[in-house]
Chain A
Amino acid sequence: MKKILAIFQKETILRFTSPIEWLFFLILPLFFTFVLAGGTAGNMDTRTRLAVVDQANSTLSAQLIAGLEASGSIRPDVKTLAEAEDEFSKRNVSAVLVIPPDFTLEKLREGALALDLRQLPNNLNSLAAYQTVQTILGRLSSSVEIAQQSVQAAEDLRPFENDAERAAYFDAALDAAQTELSVAPQRVATAQALVEDPVEYDPRANSSAGQLITWVFIPLFGISVTFAYERATGTLRRLLTTPTRKATYLLGTLLAAVFWALVQMLLLVLFGIFVMKLNWGHSPAALAVILTASALAASAIGVAMGAFVKTEGQANGLSIMLGMVMALLGGCWYPLELFPAVVQQAVKVLPTRWAMQGMLDIVLRGQDLSAVLPEAAVLLGFAVVFYAIGIWRFRYE
């Protein structure tokens, strides 16, 4: 045990000898987590901003804007047409909704309404805006239809004395229908779980989990750099002429790498909790299991790589390249749901995919230990396989 701790201490000193290590250990991970999340949450409205040009200024347009305002995903920002077009051309907003002057109840009743929604191509936010506008518009149409049917039913029972009485009845029925429909999303929400592969995305949660994996996996793959360095300098060869077993050396080296990876992950999680107001901490057991399993899987790949690389430079380049590619394909930078179905299946061979899903289970979906056990089991499977390869092919020169 003393030797393992001595190797741990040596690795720690060597790792943090250069001040630049702190750049990669903490500063850059925090910076990228913060930037890619779009800043902190705090009391800020994190909904996607939609520029709205209200050329109708009608009761109906006001109801549409109010409906958008009440949505959980879109924040309407009323602008003039020139302002909205300027922002859109500068890509400051993902979509612009132009409500035409004839956006009135009469037109709605006639079924002749048309809205102008301008969207950036291939943009998730503009897609969300489109869906929200459709939902609100559908709700308005339904309200009008219900009100019209109510007027018809009332007239069948007792004809209205005049148009004013009919219009008043219509308005009352419309109000009642809108009130009822305003609670509709709750009923829809019960059906949402049946929908396959919903795009679950929260920039803050995804950034926190994704950057954590990216910046921790790369140095863990870098265990291969340690092995290459020790082979190049002859220290590994010398070590094995001392009364020290290969297993002791490997354990000490791994202990240092995994320990500092866990510290790094913990700091990034704390940043997520205290600065980005993310819900990382609701199941400490789940968090501990998924972080440890992820660190073990990545370190095992580092050990296996270390058995095959020839030089320190080769190990360095390979660690960074593999880390980046695995992070990208594992959904650490973009939601996996954006990838084609074939790719989504193929990336199941990557530990980053399972680490990301496990972490999103915790921070995005609010699940507990039992939910992350499958991901943890797969990650530990990676660890066993790659440790076995690495130890089997371990060489000291």
Chain B
Amino acid sequence: MPAILEVQQLVKKYGDKTAVNGISFDIQAGEIFSLLGPNGAGKTTTISVLSTLYVPTSGDAVIGGHSVVKEPMAVRNLIGVVPQDLALYEDLTARENLSFWGQMYNLSGKALNARVDQVLEQIGLKDRANQRVKTFSGGMKRRVNIGVGLLHQPRLLFMDEPTVGIDPQSRRAILDSVKDLNRQGMTVLYTTHYMEEAQELSDRVGIIDHGDLIALGTQGELTRQVGEYEALQLHISEMDDSEALAQALRGVEGVVRADVIDHNITLITPEAEKILAPVVSRANERGIRIHTVTIQEPNLEAVFLHLTGRALRD
């Protein structure tokens, strides 16, 4: 399958600060590719360069055969962008918004009207088409925000953390719509800091941290980087000293590493079941009560933890 996007040694610096540090990857036509990383990792900067908003400090990216540096207008015809924050005119109706943005994507006349109707149908807002966006719920606004990016049927859709700050129901709807779009043949570059979203949606995942692409591949390929390790997660009381317990657990045979986030301790180990008894014993010795214990198969969270020593939410 041909690559619709090829990113070549892309660098973006702001003064002394390097936001994107020479990343390279490609996306095949028809796949969903996720860029997974914590806040500030460089995901939005990457999308901004790829959508021709920023000129890279060095390197280039080619979309559909066109360089984002040399042929930005040609690139813009091929891409759709769904920004992280709502970028709509709230005093216009949903139809007026879609019609305006459609014209910005060179649609006009009957073709424009037809596409606006199709997108309204697709985002489930046909019956609210003539109401002002400012009267919509957060989830409905998100759907219009996505709809704008679909109007001109782009070959590559950039979705920059589209589920940030929304309710679970709307989030679910957005994830389903991404899968639907992909089933219809659309290629999607999806950025997120939610491991679950990347796992659910992606054919391939790039893990980005501090501007570096630290891992790239299918989920299987990535989890194999962690080896045969499993993650044992403990949730303890807010009253107890989680750091002290983690320190004690690092001494348990078979524990490769122990990380603390709030009152959750994640232990990386080859065999979670085998260390369960000594872990509970160490906790009891310190009078610490473990509320829940979860054993996880190797996942992207573990991969990130393995590669960076930090959790995605850090």
Name A residues whose Cβ lies closer than 8 Å to a Cβ of B: 2-3, 6, 9-10, 13-14, 17-18, 233-235, 237-245, 396
Contact = CB atoms under 8 A, between A and B. Distances in A.
A2 B79 contact: no
Given A14-B91, A17-B91, A243-B106, 6 more contacts: A3-B103, A237-B53, A239-B104, A243-B77, A243-B105, A396-B53
Contacts of A240: 52-53
B92 A10 contact: yes
Nearest to B99: A6
Contact of A241 (B79, B85, B86, B88): B79
B76 A241 contact: yes
B51 interface: yes
Contacts of B76: 241-244
Interface SS majority for chain B: loop
Given A2-B103, A13-B96, A241 B81 contact: yes
Contacts of B53: 237, 240-241, 396
Interface residues of B, number: 26
A152 to B, nearest CB: 86
B156 to A, nearest CB: 12
A396 B101 CA distance: 17
A280 B194 CA distance: 67
A338 B240 CA distance: 79
Among B87, B101, B104, B105, the most chain A Cβ lie within 10 Å of the Cβ of: B104
Given A14-B89, A14-B91, A233-B89, A242 B83 contact: no
A9 B53 CA distance: 25
A225 B101 CA distance: 21
Contacts of A245: 73
Nearest to A18: B91
Among A2, A17, A241, the most chain B Cβ lie within 10 Å of the Cβ of: A241
A242 B101 contact: yes
A233 B88 CA distance: 7
Given A13-B92, A14-B92, A243-B73, A237 B104 contact: no
Interface in B164-184: none
Nearest to B47: A241
19 contacts: A2-B103, A10-B96, A13-B92, A13-B96, A14-B89, A14-B91, A233-B86, A233-B87, A233-B88, A235-B88, A237-B83, A238-B101, A240-B52, A240-B53, A241-B52, A241-B76, A242-B101, A242-B104, A243-B73
A242 B96 CA distance: 17
B136 interface: no
A170 B106 CA distance: 93
Interface string B100-116: 11011110100000000
B87 A237 contact: yes
A2 B108 contact: yes
A243 B90 CA distance: 22
